């Protein structure tokens, strides 16, 4: 497997003071993965929230995959984030 894709919101780190930093995985469909690998994702205007002890991201835009035709995904859907639970 190649290098992992890293998406960062540079504007948020400029405008806000970040107290804690977490690394999260995102639950994606097949066409979303292909679109992100092509660099077609944006975190502008996105934010995270908790719903029933699960972390979700809203406002993340992943452009439709051009070759997917009718099996494409919704570009602005809410996506579940996956965090690891650390025990100390």
Instruction: Tell me which of 22 and 55 has the higher pLDDT.
Output: 55
Q: How far apart are the first and last CA of the chain?
A: 31
Structure tokens, 48: 């995270």
Q: Where would I find the beta strands (DSSP E) of 1-88? A: 25-26, 41-42, 47-51, 54-58, 61-62, 79-82
pLDDT averaged over every residue in the chain: 84
Contact 74, 50 (CB under 8 A): no
DSSP annotation of 19:
S
- pLDDT band at 88; cut points 50, 70, 90: very low
DSSP annotation of 45:
T
Q: What pLDDT was estimated at residue 10?
A: 82
pTM: 0.76
What domains are defined for the chain? 10-82 (2.40.280.10)
pLDDT digits (tens, 9 = 90+) for 45-60: 889 999 998 999 999 9
Q: What pLDDT was estimated at residue 36?
A: 87
């Amino acid at each position: 497997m190649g290098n992992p894709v890293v998406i960062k919101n540079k504007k948020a780190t400029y405008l806000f003071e970040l107290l804690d930093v977490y690394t999260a995985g995102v639950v994606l469909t097949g066409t979303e993965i292909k679109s992100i690998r092509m660099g077609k994702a944006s975190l502008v205007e996105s934010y995270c929230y908790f719903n029933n002890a699960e972390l979700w991201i809203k406002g993340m835009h992943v452009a439709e995959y051009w070759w997917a035709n009718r099996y494409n995904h919704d570009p602005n859907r809410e996506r579940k984030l996956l965090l690891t639970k650390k025990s100390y």
